[in-house]
Structure 1
Amino acid sequence: MSLSRSVLDVPSVVRRLRAAGCVFAEDEAELLVTTARSAAELDAMVDRRAGGLPLEHVLGWAEFCGLRIAVDPGLFVPRRRTEFLVRQAAALAGPSAVVLDLCCGVGALGVALAAAVGPGVDLHASDVDPAAVRCARRNASAAGGTVHLGDLYEPLPDGLRGRVDVLLANAPYVPTAAIGLLPAEAREHEPRVALDGGADGLDVQRRVIAGAPEWLAPGGHLLVETSGRQAPRTLAAFAAAGLAARTAECEELDATVVIGRR
């Protein structure tokens, strides 16, 4: 249960957050106040946020596609732009779809897609980071999902080969040289493995795309988040894998997704 607002000096929380440079201090104060269970906990949470910790790490959750997704400290925070990928996938997934979320992080994409499509979804996910997998398993439990620890397709059961209807991948796509240009919240508090996509940002993407035909069902779809600048090279990787592909974009969210079909 969160604290009663009457026992808190909410404006003082806003002032502390503003002084720390938090642009959306009022909104953040509201979330902190409604999440904290005691005045002491609120004070500690405000201190952590003012010290530069991402808000989602302080709260312990991120809002994604209308859901509260658990996010443990030090893990990649689901981005709002990636909701566009989920919406595109939901338009392609049937009520009993087999769904695979690669580079799943905390599992937000697969969990959100399962919530959008319905309880018949057979959800699988994988990630190479043990901490992310532990968190993703908590998030996926309500959807009956299974989260595998390992590198991309390596830990998946053989029974999934040729059966995946919708394959989602928000693989890291920041070029190595650009990591230092990221906001401090990402650069200092999220795992490098979730951000660094190699020299041109597409190393992991290419591996996901190259392996997809072996796992997709006939007519199955692969959806990969990328950037507008990188999209032509992502499309070329789809073509090299024998997947007919198109690009979908959302200007509002600054989101680009390449969608391929086996």
Structure 2
Amino acid sequence: MKVGLFIPCYINAIYPEVGRASCELLRRVGCEVDYPLDQTCCGQPMANAGFERDARAMAERMNALFDKYDYVVGPSASCVVFVREGYPHLLKDYREHACVDARIWEICEFLHDVVKPARLDARFPHKVSLHNSCHGVRRMDLSSPSELHVPYHSKLRDLLAMVDGIEVAEPERRDECCGFGGMFSAEEGAVSVAMGRAKVSRHMATGAEYITGADSSCLMHMQGVIDHDKLPIKTIHIVEILNSSL
């Protein structure tokens, strides 16, 4: 399968190791991966701030750039959700079969639902606390929302179960927001930080060495709390664990 790798702008700028791990992991499970060098922001920050005209230009560019791929895969639930749900409203003369939103996947759901690897040949001998990001849980079904009172499932946990040596825990209130929320963290800084501290403390209560999840934005927010308060825990994106070599 031919995959166009979509790396969100903040990952490209701040967490390039997540982009590299995503590319390597997809190739390890048998995908033909291409990384279009001309890609830019998907347009989510502009759209969230109310600048739809600017967001539309980004959407048109991304739609054209990724047109030739069978699948478009990215390591960010929030960006992928924006493309899926936002592009049909932003793009002119929208036709579903011709648009990238019909072919875009978050990397963990792509591995879990499309590739379905029997094994990953990965090793990570550490205890991790699994972070469920809001977009991944409630807009992408990466795990089941607690408020629905349905049987619990987690695609992230299923993938981590293939990693040798790992111990996976989940915090109390496992799908409660960490406080990042994109524009929310800028507009409501004090509330955002308080939520982040509460979330990190619950992850630490599991006894984990690392907090892991599928959204670098959430991990970045919590790492800011960790660094500021000098806490004995670290964050790591799930693709870095899944790509860790035996």
TM-score range, shorter chain: 0.3 to 0.5
- Going by fraction, where is strand more abundant, 1 or 2? 1
- Going by fraction, where is helix more abundant, 1 or 2? 2
Q: Which is greater in Rg?
A: 1
